[in-house]
Amino acid sequence: MTENIERVRCLIIGSGPAGYTAAIYAARADLRPIIYQGMQPGGQLTITTEVENFPGYPKGIAGPEMMEDFKQQAERFGTDVRFGVVTRVDLLQRPFVVEADDGKTLHAETVIIATGASARWLGLESEKRFMGMGVSGCATCDGFFYRKQDVAIVGGGDTAAEEATYLAKLCRKVYMIHRRSELRASKAMQHKVLHTDNIEMVWNSIPEEVLGDNDGVNGVRVRNVKTGETKDLAVTGFFVAIGHQPNTAIFTGQLELDAMQYIVTKPGTTQTNIPGVFAAGDVQDHHYRQAITAAGSGCMAAIEAERFLTNIS
């Protein structure tokens, strides 16, 4: 219905470091941005306990608390922050037409996509129970907390291999659990893993249960897929590195996506193949996936959106 149509100069889809930073910059540029937070307001950092590598927080900060700071800063400058999910977009006409689950239809002059990527999980009930209490989807984010401890990581690709070697520099021992008898990672990464003394391969095995108590994870039960035998590994950290899935489903057929379904942006920019549509954060970055790089790209997207609007006005 026409009374539900809103006109907006800058619409931001998704929150987290990229979305909120874009909102801060867009609001300060007087673009009066509206941001729809998505199904997980604050993004993946809301399932992270302590963040110690983001500048400006010398004592560290809990992920959810940090995202609340970002949100409040965006609101301070006039961002309209909305709890809700964008359900449909039409980016092939101008202004762009966007529908949300609150019943609103928005006509947007620019759109910044910051929907992020979701870590793939094993689907274990115990994995969910100990999320943030020893279970993590990011070794570079959380590995620091497990210095001189024994940990386990699941996966066999390049990401798992990279994270295993990263953890090996911090931890006493790293069990790398893989369901096959050889890694899928590149030869160079395989060589690195297999020649790191404190990485122990657990071949032909899958995790059956993450073990722990009120203090967090204290082990993982694995089953050998060939023999059916199970054994418990004593670990305090359990890392899942079986990939990420970018949240790009509603943009399929409109935006250019790569083979892994990440949004393709022009090198050195956040510009997509559609003028006026920008992508920031993990939805277009499968290399770094850090809060600081997401925030930086959110800043870029807002500046580029402002310049785009200036040039067409």
- Check 10, 142, 282, 299 and give the catalytic one: 142
H-assigned helices in the chain: 16-28, 63-76, 125-129, 139-142, 158-170, 187-194, 291-312
Say if strands 205-213 and 216-224 run parallel, antiparallel, or are unpaired. Answer: antiparallel
Would you tell me how many other CB atoms lie within 10 Å of the CB of residue 122? 16
End-to-end CA gap in the chain: 28
Cis peptide upstream of residue 41 (ω within 30 degrees of 0): no
Q: Is the dihedral of CA 133, 136, 141, 145 positive or negative?
A: positive
Within 8 A by CB and 6+ apart from 306, the residues are 25, 26, 29, 31
* Cα(189)–Cα(223) distance, integer angstroms: 25
Report the run of H or E that residue 227 belongs to, with start and end: none
Residues pairing with 131 in the sheet: 135
Q: Residue 130: is it exposed, middle or buried by C-beta count within 10 angstroms (0-12/13-18/19+)?
A: buried
Q: Is 207 helix (H, G, I), strand (E, B) or coil?
A: strand
138 is catalytic: yes
Alpha carbon 213 to chain centroid, angstroms: 27
* Cα(293)–Cα(6) distance, integer angstroms: 31
For residues 192-204, one letter each, b for 16 or more C-beta atoms within 10 angstroms of the residue's C-beta and e for the rest, the string is bbeebeebebbbb
69 is catalytic: no
197 is catalytic: no
- Check 10, 69, 102, 141 and give the catalytic one: 141
- Check 10, 138, 171, 299 and give the catalytic one: 138
* Cα(182)–Cα(210) distance, integer angstroms: 23
Q: Annotated active-site positions, please?
A: 138, 141-142
